[in-house]
Amino acid sequence: MGSLEEHESDESRGLRLEIIGITGLPEVKPGDDLAELIVGAAERNGIGIMDMDVVVVAHKIVSKAEGRLVPLSSVVPSQFAVNLAQVVGKSPEDVEVILRESRAIVRYRRGILITENRAGIVMANSGVDRSNVQEGYALLLPSDPDASARSLREGIRRLTGRDVAVVISDTMGRPIRNGQVDVAIGISGIAPFRDYRGLRDTFGRELRVTNIAHVDEIASAAELVMGKLRRVPVAIVRGYPYERSDDGSSGLNMPEDQDMFR
Amino acid sequence: MGSLEEHESDESRGLRLEIIGITGLPEVKPGDDLAELIVGAAERNGIGIMDMDVVVVAHKIVSKAEGRLVPLSSVVPSQFAVNLAQVVGKSPEDVEVILRESRAIVRYRRGILITENRAGIVMANSGVDRSNVQEGYALLLPSDPDASARSLREGIRRLTGRDVAVVISDTMGRPIRNGQVDVAIGISGIAPFRDYRGLRDTFGRELRVTNIAHVDEIASAAELVMGKLRRVPVAIVRGYPYERSDDGSSGLNMPEDQDMFR
Per-residue pLDDT of chain A (262 residues), as tens digits, is 346 666 665 555 689 999 999 999 999 999 999 999 999 999 999 999 999 999 999 999 999 999 999 999 999 999 999 999 999 999 999 999 999 999 999 999 999 999 999 999 999 999 999 888 889 999 999 999 999 999 999 999 999 999 999 999 999 999 999 999 999 999 999 999 998 888 888 788 888 778 999 999 999 999 999 987 778 999 999 999 999 999 999 999 999 999 999 9
Report how far residue A109's alpha carbon sits from residue B37's, in angstroms, rounded to the nearest whole number: 49
Closest to B14 measured CA to CA, from A81, A74, A227, A125: A227
Contact at 8 Å (CB) between B41 and B26?
Answer: no
| Local structure of B19: helix, strand or coil | strand
Closest to B82 measured CA to CA, from B73, B94, B72, B70: B94
Judging contacts by C-beta atoms under 8 Å, the chain B residues touching residue A28 are none
B102's enclosing H/E stretch is: strand B102-109
Report how far residue B45's alpha carbon sits from residue B25's, in angstroms, rounded to the nearest whole number: 10
Q: Identity (one letter) of the amino acid at A204? A: G
Taking each helix axis from N to C terminus, what angle separates B214-226 and A214-226, rounded to the nearest 10 degrees?
A: 130
User: How many CB atoms within 10 Å of residue A87?
Assistant: 12
Contact at 8 Å (CB) between A113 and A99?
Answer: no
| Contact at CB, B211 and A178, closer than 8 angstroms | yes
B63's enclosing H/E stretch is: helix B59-65
| Local structure of A212: helix, strand or coil | strand
Judging contacts by C-beta atoms under 8 Å, the chain A residues touching residue B130 are 205
CA angle (B51 as vertex; B47, B56 as ends), nearest 5: 65
Report how far residue A46's alpha carbon sits from residue A153's, in angstroms, rounded to the nearest whole number: 20
Domain A4-68+141-252 carries which CATH code?
A: 3.30.1330.100
Name the residue ranges covered by the structural domains of chain A: 4-68+141-252, 69-138
Residue pLDDT, tens place only, B82-92: 999 999 999 99
Asked, colleague to colleague, whether B4-68+141-252 and B69-138 share their fold, the answer is no
3-class secondary structure for B181-232? Answer: EEEEEEEECCCCCEECCCCECCCCCECCCCEECHHHHHHHHHHHHHCCCCCC
In chain B, the residue whose alpha carbon lies closest to the alpha carbon of A11 is B230
| Contact at CB, B228 and A211, closer than 8 angstroms | no
Residue pLDDT, tens place only, B108-157: 999 999 999 999 999 999 999 988 888 999 999 999 999 999 999 999 99
What residues pair up with B215 in beta bridges, in sequence order?
A: none
- Domain A69-138: top CATH class: alpha beta
| Local structure of A152: helix, strand or coil | helix
Contact at 8 Å (CB) between A153 and A166?
Answer: yes
Judging contacts by C-beta atoms under 8 Å, the chain A residues touching residue B257 are none
How do the residues of chain B divide into helix, strand and coil, expressed in percent and rounded to 5? 35, 25, 40
Closest to A249 measured CA to CA, from A123, A156, A132: A123
In chain B, the residue whose alpha carbon lies closest to the alpha carbon of A133 is B203
| Contact at CB, B14 and A21, closer than 8 angstroms | yes
Judging contacts by C-beta atoms under 8 Å, the chain A residues touching residue B107 are 260-261
Mean pLDDT for the stretch of residues B24-50:
96
| Interface ipTM above 0.90 | yes
Closest to A152 measured CA to CA, from A240, A242, A66: A66
DSSP string, B224-257: HHH-SSSS--EEEEES---------SGGGBPPGG
